[in-house]
């Protein structure tokens, strides 16, 4: 008999309010400003001191959700986010400097890991699930069924990668349902990319507000649970 387990993940969330609402893409500007203002905080800009990239799941993530800035700190990233909450009083977004009018710090603990039934989520911000190789396979797929199957494999891979990043061993088999995801064109680093929005299901607990896929430190792939099964 397979034992189903979860790992509790500490999450620190810093919500910033400015004098105007933000656009989704401004999460990148906010991350760039904070990375420049706190160069010693490697978890913010995701580079080692020698300039090399940190190939790890981002512990600090910048997002714009409902036109409001959110900084999410996971595990040890929570210490960094709490420091930003204490020390930030303004932000420069591109060429515009904005004072922080309201700063709220929230802490919570949520489970991460497999579940006995499918949980329904939606992508709050577009999910960048396709790399160069699987984008070519997605484009060459002959049917919606082939495309959905590919996206489901990628979703499962994203969940397994996140589990590994936080030391969680997945004992059971993961399944996913991507049939209601819809593609949309996204701009990232001045390039057009295919992202996906809409609901999906997977038998894996993802903490609300975290990101999966590519560029989660800039807000892409942020998930929110629609419904949790009581048996999970």
Residue 37 shares a structural domain with residue 86: yes
Percent of the chain with pLDDT strictly greater than 70: 97
Residue 220 shares a structural domain with residue 118: yes
Could you please report the per-residue DSSP string of 76-105?
Answer: THHHHHHHHHHH--EEEETTEEEE--EEEE
Check: pTM over 0.75? Answer yes or no: yes
Within a domain: 1? no
Task: Enter the DSSP assignment of 217.
Answer: G
Are residues 4 and 62 in contact, defined by beta-carbon separation less than 8 angstroms? no
* Distance of alpha carbon 190 from alpha carbon 186, whole angstroms: 10
Q: Which residue range(s) make up the domain with 82?
A: 7-108
Please give the pLDDT value at position 190. 74
Task: Over range 190-209, report the average pLDDT.
Answer: 93
CATH code assigned at 204: 3.30.70.1900
Residue 74 shares a structural domain with residue 140: no
The neighbouring-strand residues paired with 186 are: 193
Structure confidence by residue, pLDDT tens digits, 96-131: 999 999 999 999 999 999 999 999 999 999 999 998
* Distance of alpha carbon 203 from alpha carbon 119, whole angstroms: 6
Residue 104 shares a structural domain with residue 166: no
Question: pLDDT band at 227, cuts 50/70/90?
Answer: low
């Amino acid at each position: 008999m397979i034992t189903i387990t979860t790992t509790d993940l500490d999450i620190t969330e810093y919500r910033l309010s400015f004098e105007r609402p933000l656009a989704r893409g401004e999460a990148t500007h906010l991350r760039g400003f904070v990375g420049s203002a706190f160069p010693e905080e490697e978890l913010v800009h995701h580079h080692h001191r020698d300039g090399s990239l940190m190939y790890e799941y981002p512990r600090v993530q910048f997002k714009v959700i409902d036109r409001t800035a959110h900084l999410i700190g996971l595990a040890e990233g929570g210490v960094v986010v709490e420091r930003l909450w204490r020390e930030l009083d303004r932000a420069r977004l591109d060429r515009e400097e904005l004072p922080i009018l309201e700063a709220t710090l929230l802490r919570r603990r949520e489970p991460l890991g497999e579940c006995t039934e499918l949980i329904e989520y939606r992508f709050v911000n577009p999910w960048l699930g396709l790399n160069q190789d699987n984008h070519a396979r997605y484009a060459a797929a002959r049917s919606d069924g082939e495309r959905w199957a590919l996206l489901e494999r990628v979703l499962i891979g994203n969940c397994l990668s996140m589990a590994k990043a936080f030391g969680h061993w997945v004992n059971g088999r993961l399944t996913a349902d991507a049939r209601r995801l819809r593609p949309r064109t996204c701009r990232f680093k001045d390039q057009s990319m295919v992202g996906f929005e809409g609901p999906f299901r997977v038998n894996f607990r993802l903490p609300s507000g975290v990101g999966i896929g590519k560029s989660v430190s800039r807000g892409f792939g942020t998930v929110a649970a629609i419904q949790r099964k009581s048996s999970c």
